[in-house]
Amino acid sequence: MHHRLFIKDMRIVAIEEHVSFPELSYLLPDKVRAGKAPSGPAMQMMPKLEDISGERLRSMNESGISMQVLSVENTDVNLLDAGSAPAFATAYNNLLAAKIKDHPERFTAFAHLPMTAPDAAADELERVVKTYGFRGAMIRGHTNGEFLDAPKFAPIFERAERLGVPIYIHPGLPPKAVMDAYYSNVGDMQGPYDAIACWGWGWHSETAIHVLRLLAAGIFDRYPKLKIIIGHMGEMLPMMWARAERAFQPGSGGKNQRALSETFREQLFITTSGFFTQPPLQIALDTIGIDNILFSVDYPFSANQMGVDFLNNIHLPAEQFEKIAHGNADRILQLDNFQVDKID
């Protein structure tokens, strides 16, 4: 049966959909607030980012999206030291849980973690998974220039594997040294050029580098049941698949015990967030495969209807189409099978 015959009645799960709650900024120390300049896109989108049950839910209903998995848009927690970050992350997760608790069929979430305090981050992940039924965690790029392959972050991977929940690595701002060297002083323009540094190129390539570092450091082998999710149709990795497969063979200098393709097909999952054309999807299907691709919109930075229109134009057998629309998300995030200890 062709999927167009029943898409309007099909469950659609979108898993990279963002929120931000400005009312929590009072928890940031004065010196942090004074030095923090919210991004232009985030400021423009703030009314949509802080909304849960208003325009967001109406848009989901109009476009036919069944569920959003929410994640915190900002990186404020990474601006805090190990002493103050845990309380900030806890407050954010508690507020997010309170805002979605009246709509359990429509919303769940990824944890916001205090990455500057890895042990506390692992404990916070376990708390929100067991208390609120959050489906994993979203980490926004490096933490103060350190990538997740640094040994200090091992407790987070260990806990995620034990809990059976994934870690979603979302792009973040490049480190200052990279920003200065690669993305600044373009032609006669002074300072950094964000379109190259961030959403136009830089942070996508950096996320791919992040995943390749985890591979080369042996993190996937150390935690063989760990699941990592990345967005934006695989952050350039599907296009580089065959060449990277040759470069990252076991014994070629890294600590990985398995080939890139085997490792990624078992433990890496990608989403369609912000990508709404068919050629990148075809490359992803040909490389990482149908069982590893999940639908996302990147709301509110992309429109729900745009994402659903893209989904509607995917020409695959019905059972494969369903995997992208909801089946893979239901399986990987255990959306139809989780227990919550209590909800405040």
What pLDDT is recorded for position 337? 63
Whether residue 343 is predicted with pLDDT greater than 50 in this model: the reply is no
Detail the DSSP E strand segments found in 188-252. 228-230
**What percent of the chain has a predicted confidence (pLDDT) above 90?**
82
Stretch (H or E) spanning 167: strand 167-170
Note the pLDDT tens digit of each residue in 150-165: 999 999 999 999 999 9
Distance, CA of 282 to chain centre: 21
User: In this predicted structure, what is the pLDDT of residue 39?
Assistant: 58
Mean per-residue pLDDT, 187-192: 91
In whole angstroms, what is the distance from residue 206 CA to residue 34 CA?
28
Q: Give pLDDT tens digits for 248-261.
A: 999 999 999 999 99
Averaged pLDDT score across all residues of the chain: 92
Confidence of residue 173 (pLDDT cuts 50, 70, 90): confident
pTM here? Answer: 0.94
Please report the pLDDT score of residue 5 as a whole number: 42
- The two three-digit tokens of residue 296, written as one number: 């996302």
Cα–Cα dist 260/107, whole Å: 33
Task: Report the 10 Å Cβ neighbour count for 218.
Answer: 15
pLDDT digits (tens, 9 = 90+) for 287-312: 999 999 999 999 999 999 999 999 99
The whole-number average pLDDT for the span 2-26 is 81
Q: Break the chain into its structural domains and give their ranges.
A: 3-332
Q: What is the DSSP letter of 164?
A: T
Q: Classify residue 141 by its DSSP letter.
A: S
User: Which phi and psi (to 5°) does residue 108 adopt?
Assistant: -140, -170
Q: How far apart are CA 322 and CA 198, in angstroms?
A: 32
What type of residue is 134? Answer: F
Highest mean pLDDT among 181-190, 197-206, 264-273, 334-343: 264-273
Which class is 3-332 in CATH? alpha beta
Ranking 81-90, 95-104, 187-196 by mean pLDDT, the lowest is 187-196
The answer to whether the CB of 134 falls within 8 A of the CB of 104 is no
Q: Which of 208, 153, 207, 142 is nearest to 175 (CA)?
A: 142
Task: Judge contact between 32 and 77, C-beta under 8 A.
Answer: no
> Angle, to 10 degrees, between the axis of helix 118-132 and the axis of helix 154-163?
20
Residues in the chain, how many? 344
Residue 339, amino acid? Q
**Cβ neighbours for 9, distance < 8 A, ≥ 6 positions apart:** none
Residue 344 has pLDDT above 60, yes or no: no
Question: Worst-scoring range by mean pLDDT, 195-204, 248-257, 282-291, 333-342?
Answer: 333-342
